[in-house]
Structure 1
Amino acid sequence: MNKIIVDLQNIVLELPESKIIVDREEYEHLKEKTSKGRYLTLNEVLELLSVSRPWLLENVLYNPEIRSQIDIDQNPDGFVKYPHNQGGRYFFLASRTRDYFETHFAEIMR
């Protein structure tokens, strides 16, 4: 037997006022929309990726091949604003940062 069928005609499920049901497609769209136009700090990226600062700097941000793809000063399609001096701040476009790490996970982790 592959299925169990339960008749729920006389059962009412009530959601608390604080909860809603949303289609997965709508949920994904809303999730994506929240990061559009938002910037992340270096600390937020470290938290997002669960890696150490030295690891991210060495393996991603200071890697010349990766930097040429993500640095807005080297590539008009980049999404990371590198600091101009030591102690300066990095700024990451949130939506593009998430997409980049999702897409390039295997090659970065090698």
Structure 2
Amino acid sequence: METTLKINPEITITLPEDKIIVDRSGYEQLKRDADYRGLWDVTDLKNRYHRDKEWFKRNVFAPYERELRDRIVMYPHGGKSSYLCKPIPFDDFVQSHFPEISKRAEK
């Protein structure tokens, strides 16, 4: 006759004072919050959407200026500034207008 032995080991992990443990959903939320903090410039847009400034000017900023200007996007002025976007509203705008933007970009 076989005998089964059940062992419940106790493991202790010591974390350095500058480290914490968070669950995955908390970590993902922290990453998302960091990504959407502040304003996105053209470099941020390029890294996120893999399109350059000219593509955005031609397919998003110019055709949708009336909807975007001073609400979601700060347009350049005086030749010294560049486009700045509010992250969440801009991302929502791109997602909701994706079919039209995509068709425009194909031309």
TM-score (norm 2): 0.63
**Structure 2: segments with no counterpart, 5+ residues:** 1-7, 9-14
Q: Is the 8 A contact 2:38 2:87 kept in 1?
A: yes
C-alpha displacement of 1:38: 1.4
Alignment match of 1:79 (pick from 72, 79, 86): 72
Q: Is the 8 A contact 1:81 1:92 kept in 2?
A: yes
Residue 46 of structure 2 is matched in structure 1 by 46
Residue 101 of structure 1 is matched in structure 2 by 94
Distance in structure 2 (CA, Å) of the matches to 1:103 and 1:109: 11
C-alpha displacement of 1:47: 1.7
C-alpha displacement of 1:52: 2.3
Aligned structure 1 segments of 4 or more residues deviating by more than 6 angstroms = none
Q: CA RMSD in A?
A: 3.2
User: What is the SS of the residue equivalent to 1:44?
Assistant: helix
Number of matched pairs? 94
Greater Rg by CA = 2
- Cα shift readout 1:43-94 (whole Å, capped 9, x = no counterpart): 111221111222111111111xx1111111xxxxx21111112242221111
What percent identity do the matched residue pairs reach?
22
Equivalent runs, 1:1-110 vs 2, <5 Å: 22=23, 24=25, 29-35=29-35, 37-63=37-63, 66-72=64-70, 78-110=71-103
Distance in structure 1 (CA, Å) of the matches to 2:23 and 2:51: 32
